[in-house]
């Protein structure tokens, strides 16, 4: 019997990759989208083989109907608190009412369980949702993947390509988890089809320190890259506080200070992972950050 998986947020980058990965694994996929979603995005999902269902994302009844016959609901929703907490809550309630046995929330981040409320706005919303999720009569699995490695070539100001510098804060030998979006999606698809997943799964395509990234870039480019340390975690925290005061971006998902806050959490000792769950699915093939960076350098 084919697994039927419902994906919410399937028109986004990660969600779209999850839909594709599920279809490649032979699953039947329902992609539930907001009413009024771009027709071209819906058509793209349909052409790949997914069944696309438009629904009022705040209607438990409509989402319950979409969840009928589903073995796992995968949330890839992205947004502010009203999405991560409020919309996901409606989606979860619908899954429970439809008798869906499993739910994967939209976490896909560093493992924030050791951190405290108030340390990261966007992760606080996920923690708040977990409080509701853990009381629900459904098996839940969160997937923690560190940072999306794809951001190393642009959005994450760690590799300064023009200046030939690796920007870091604190310890140059502190390792951080990086995983490509497509690998997070492939692993999520396998987890969605696995009836025995634990509450948390921790993965990393690569586990690298700034020094290792520096050596890697020097090797790949044939030009010496150097480490650049503006200061330690304390200074970064102070800069974040100033940036948030001057430009709070309350209605922005990723204001500048939020990106800095994520890096502040990544360099925290509490973000260190002792054991990853990469080998849970032996057929999974992980992409190396080195290959990503090599391809980027070749395209420059």
Decide if 224 is inside a domain. Answer: no
Decide if 80 is inside a domain. Answer: yes
Overall number of domains in the chain: 1
CATH code of 71's domain? 3.40.50.720
Decide if 184 is inside a domain. Answer: yes
Structural domain boundaries enclosing 117: 4-147+178-205+273-283
Looking at residue 2, its pLDDT comes to: 73
CA distance 150 to 168: 18
Cβ-contact 33, 11 below 8 angstroms: yes
> pLDDT tens, 135-171?
999 999 999 999 999 999 988 999 999 999 999 999 9
> pLDDT tens, 285-294?
999 999 999 9
> pLDDT tens, 85-132?
999 999 999 999 999 999 999 999 999 999 999 999 999 999 999 999
Decide if 132 is inside a domain. Answer: yes
CA distance 259 to 13: 18
> pLDDT tens, 207-244?
999 999 999 999 999 999 999 999 999 999 999 999 99
Decide if 233 is inside a domain. Answer: no
CA distance 18 to 13: 9
Decide if 247 is inside a domain. Answer: no
Decide if 153 is inside a domain. Answer: no
CA distance 41 to 11: 6
pTM, rounded to two decimals: 0.96
Decide if 245 is inside a domain. Answer: no
- pLDDT(1) > 70: no
52 Rama class: left (phi>0) / alpha (psi -120 to 50) / beta:
beta
């Amino acid at each position: 019997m084919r697994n039927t998986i419902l994906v919410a947020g399937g028109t986004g980058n990660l969600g779209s990759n999850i839909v594709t990965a599920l279809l490649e694994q032979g699953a039947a996929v329902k992609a539930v989208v907001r009413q009024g979603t771009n027709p071209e995005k819906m058509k793209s999902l349909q052409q790949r083989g997914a069944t696309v269902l438009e629904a009022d994302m705040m209607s438990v009844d409509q989402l319950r109907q979409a969840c009928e016959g589903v073995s796992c609901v995968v949330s890839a929703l992205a947004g502010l608190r009203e999405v991560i907490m409020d919309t996901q809550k409606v989606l979860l309630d619908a899954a429970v009412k439809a008798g869906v046995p499993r739910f994967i929330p939209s976490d896909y981040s560093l493992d924030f369980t050791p951190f405290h409320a108030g340390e990261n706005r966007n992760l606080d919303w996920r923690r708040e949702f977990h409080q509701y999720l853990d009381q629900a009569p459904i098996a839940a699995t969160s997937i923690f993947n560190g940072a999306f490695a794809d951001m190393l070539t642009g959005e994450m100001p760690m590799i300064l390509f023009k200046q030939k510098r690796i920007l870091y804060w604190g310890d140059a030998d502190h390792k951080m988890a990086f995983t490509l979006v497509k690998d997070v999606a492939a692993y999520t698809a396998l987890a969605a089809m696995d009836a025995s997943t634990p509450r948390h799964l921790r993965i990393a395509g690569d586990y690298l320190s700034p020094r290792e990234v520096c050596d890697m870039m020097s090797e790949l480019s044939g030009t010496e890259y150097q480490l650049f340390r503006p200061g330690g975690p304390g200074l970064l925290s102070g800069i974040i506080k100033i940036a948030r005061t001057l430009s709070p971006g309350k209605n922005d998902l990723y204001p500048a200070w939020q990106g800095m806050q994520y890096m502040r959490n990544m360099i925290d000792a509490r973000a260190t992972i002792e054991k990853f769950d990469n080998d849970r699915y032996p057929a999974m093939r992980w992409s190396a950050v080195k290959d990503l960076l090599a391809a980027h350098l070749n395209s420059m």
